[in-house]
Amino acid sequence: MAHNLGAAKRLRKELQNLERSKKSDSHHDYDDIFLRPTNLSKSILHWTALLRGPPDTPFENGVFQISIKCNSSYPLEPPKITFETTIFHPNIHFKTGDVCLDILKKEWSPAWGLQAACRAVLALLSDPDADSPLNCDAGNLVRNNDMSCYWSTARMYTMENAMMLKWPEST
């Protein structure tokens, strides 16, 4: 129970910092990530984020919804991040949305927060790692340097699934 209180306290602090930064930040640092608790009245351990697809990738102009679940040991243990929006990427499981990223596993540091985890996922979209694929089809295309086929397939799924979500209005 003490762990759960620690996790909740840390997440409340992260939420306060996000809200404070949005109000005082004039250089649009949050244009590519929209992060908030899914239902604050129920639990602060479950968050939702919208990620804007990085430019110069097949995900450009897409808006991808991810689910972020923290357990009671957060921040000592990493959050569990899954894509709710279907995406074709070597390091994201096509059906479950699970993400293969070292900082979400053994390389996690309690100094990082949910915003940093989202930034790492965005970086992964720009720079896939074909050596540890969760989506073998996408991984094989990247590994075999068939980038044209990878891009066109990833772009097709982006257009089908990630262009329907709208970005929230600034508050």
- Identify which of 44, 42, 54, 41 has the alpha carbon closest to the alpha carbon of residue 18: 44
Annotated catalytic residue: which of 70, 100, 118, 149? 100
Q: What are phi and psi of 3, to 5 degrees?
A: -60, -45
Check: CB of residue 78 under 8 Å from CB of residue 103. Answer: yes
Would residue 170 count as lying in a domain? no
Query: Average pLDDT by consecutive 10-residue portion of the chain (171 residues)?
Result: 76 93 61 92 95 97 97 97 98 98 95 97 96 95 97 98 79 48
Per the structure, the complete domain to which residue 19 belongs is given by 2-161
Would residue 90 count as lying in a domain? yes
Would residue 167 count as lying in a domain? no
Q: What is the pTM of this model?
A: 0.90
CATH number for the domain harbouring residue 32: 3.10.110.10
Determine the straight-line distance between the first and last CA of the chain, rounded to whole angstroms: 35
Catalytic residue status for 118: no
Quote the pLDDT of residue 19: 87
Would residue 76 count as lying in a domain? yes
String of b and e for 108-125 (b: at least 16 CB within 10 Å)? beeebbbbebbbbbbebb
Query: What is the count of structural domains for the chain?
Result: 1
Would residue 171 count as lying in a domain? no
Extract the tokens encoding 36.
């908030």
Distance of CA 169 to the CA centre of its chain: 20
Would residue 45 count as lying in a domain? yes
Quote the pLDDT of residue 1: 43
Would residue 166 count as lying in a domain? no
> Where is 37: in which H helix or E strand?
strand 33-39
